[in-house]
Amino acid sequence: MDKIKITNISKIFGPQPALALQLLNQGLGKEEIFNQTGQAVGLANISFEVQEGEIMVVMGLSGSGKSTLLRCLNRLIDPSQGQVFIDGVDITTLDHEALLALRRQKFGMVFQHFALFPHRNILHNVEYGLEIQGMEVDKRREKARQSLKLVGLEGWEDAMPRQLSGGMQQRVGLARALAVEPDILLMDEAFSALDPLIRGDMQSELLQLQERVRKTIVFITHDLDEALNIGSRVVLMKDGKVVQIGTPEDIISQPADDYVKRFVENVDKSRVLTAHAVMVWPRLLASPQDEPAQVLANMAEENLSSLVVVNADQTLAGIVRMETLTQAIERGDKTLENSIEREVPTVTAKEPLKGLISILATWPLSLPVIDKQRKLLGIVVKGMILSALAKRGNH
């Protein structure tokens, strides 16, 4: 089941939304509707799903509707039409009391401005949401301490907000949101107020934190690099509409229209495209129990100078080179066991091409791509990367 599902969400700002919705559903645009009715279209028939544990980034320029959309997800703003499902429950049907309960149980929010209480120390700031819930003092302070530890601020409990840097204050905001143990984090331009270096650090820290806590995150940003860096998928908006939804690689390599193409034309593709985009399955593989002479013959037939070796469970054993196989045959070896080069560089499917280029600058053979269990997913060679960058650069 989808964690979040929104269906045909529209938002009209003005006293006569029905008329504007009628025109919107007839296909008129934002500017035409405003000229005819004086009503402002904030969102126009938006539908998509967010999977559990996913970071979905919603991005667009100022006025695109991204923050309005975020606030419709927990009904801080009521949509003019459409449905918002959280764990299968249509929250547009909930009364005020049920909505408040759902917000407390399901959502945490992190804003661009840190919104810390200047008169409270860090621990008391973090425990605020738990205090509102009526949790007893000892329990909520323990949860607040755990949350601060999670974001790397253990030992700062007694400090005041003014004593912390901008990045540290934002981590306090994140700790406060995490302390209530929400299923869903809504982050509205959370890092926009930070300087570029700290912003980059916070993006990295968020990704590392997500590896541990696996929250469903909807992250709003106007910054394309930030969207491509942290998003599992990206929703690109313009004038209240969605113009494209896809993985960062989809957005870069298959822009939906000229607007998206212009949006991404200056992106460093080597930072966005990953091993997954260029890896292929090897034409030939070997097993540690294979006979050296037969493997050498197979390699000669395929014109290969090296070969990836996998175990019976498809985990990576290493590689063999043509010259070591020749030596194995001379020794009379019956298997590849003594010929396998086991210390070889590997990457995951998520490794950016920039990282692959760095490795392949000194590693002359095919580069194995593996998962967390070391199972082989494919291989990458230098020519594939150059071809991919050239192809997408001319898209």
Nearest to 191 by CA among 201, 181, 177, 183: 201
How far apart, in whole angstroms, are the C-alpha atoms of residue 43 and residue 239? 8
The residues that bridge with 361 in the sheet, in sequence order, are none
Looking at residue 284, what is its pLDDT? 94
CA dihedral 120, 122, 124, 125 (to 10 degrees): 80
How far apart, in whole angstroms, are the C-alpha atoms of residue 99 and residue 114? 24
For tokens 């070796």, what's the residue?
309
**What DSSP string runs through 324-374?**
HHHHHHHHT-SSSGGG-B-----B-TT-BHHHHHHHHTT--S-EEEE-TT-
The proportion of the chain whose per-residue pLDDT surpasses 70, expressed as a percent, equals: 98
Q: Homologous superfamily of 52-73+97-269 in CATH?
A: P-loop containing nucleotide triphosphate hydrolases (3.40.50.300)
- Residue 288: pLDDT above 60? yes
Long-range CB contact pairs, 35-39, < 8 A, 24+? 38/14, 39/12, 39/13, 39/14, 39/15
Taking only the tens place, the pLDDT of each residue in 249-278 is 888 888 889 988 888 887 877 778 889 888
- Residue 291: pLDDT above 80? yes
- Residue 321: pLDDT above 50? yes
Taking only the tens place, the pLDDT of each residue in 66-115 is 999 999 999 999 999 999 999 999 999 999 999 998 988 899 888 877 67
Q: State whether the Cα torsion 373-377-381-383 is positive or negative.
A: negative
Average pLDDT over residues 18-36: 89
Q: State whether the Cα torsion 78-79-82-84 is positive or negative.
A: negative
- Residue 394: pLDDT above 60? no
Looking at residue 332, what is its pLDDT? 93
pTM assigned to the model: 0.78
- Residue 43: pLDDT above 50? yes
Nearest to 172 by CA among 230, 115, 108: 115
The residues that bridge with 236 in the sheet, in sequence order, are 59, 244
CB 242 within 8 A of CB 49: no
- Residue 245: pLDDT above 60? yes
Average pLDDT over residues 19-26: 89
- Domain 52-73+97-269 matches domain 276-393 at the CATH topology level: no
CB 294 within 8 A of CB 280: no
384 membership: H or E segment, kind and range: helix 382-393
CB 175 within 8 A of CB 167: no
The first and second tokens of residue 146, run together, are 């755990």
pLDDT band at 390 (very low <50, low <70, confident <90, very high): low
How far apart, in whole angstroms, are the C-alpha atoms of residue 295 and residue 340? 12
Q: Which CATH architecture has domain 276-393?
A: Roll (3.10)
What are the residue boundaries of the structural domains of the chain, listed by start?
52-73+97-269, 276-393
Q: State whether the Cα torsion 241-3-218-228 is positive or negative.
A: negative
Distance, first Cα to last Cα, the chain? 36
pLDDT band at 378 (very low <50, low <70, confident <90, very high): very high
Across the chain, what does the average pLDDT equal?
89
Looking at residue 391, what is its pLDDT? 60
How far apart, in whole angstroms, are the C-alpha atoms of residue 54 and residue 71? 18
- Residue 393: pLDDT above 60? no
Taking only the tens place, the pLDDT of each residue in 162-218 is 999 888 888 898 899 888 888 999 998 888 878 878 888 888 888 888 888 899 999
Residues with Cβ within 8 Å of 219's Cβ and at least 6 positions away in sequence, in order, are: 55, 56, 57, 58, 187, 190, 227, 230, 231
Looking at residue 361, what is its pLDDT? 87
How far apart, in whole angstroms, are the C-alpha atoms of residue 4 and residue 100? 17
The residues that bridge with 379 in the sheet, in sequence order, are 280, 368
Helices 196-213 and 137-150 cross at an angle (nearest 10°) of: 120
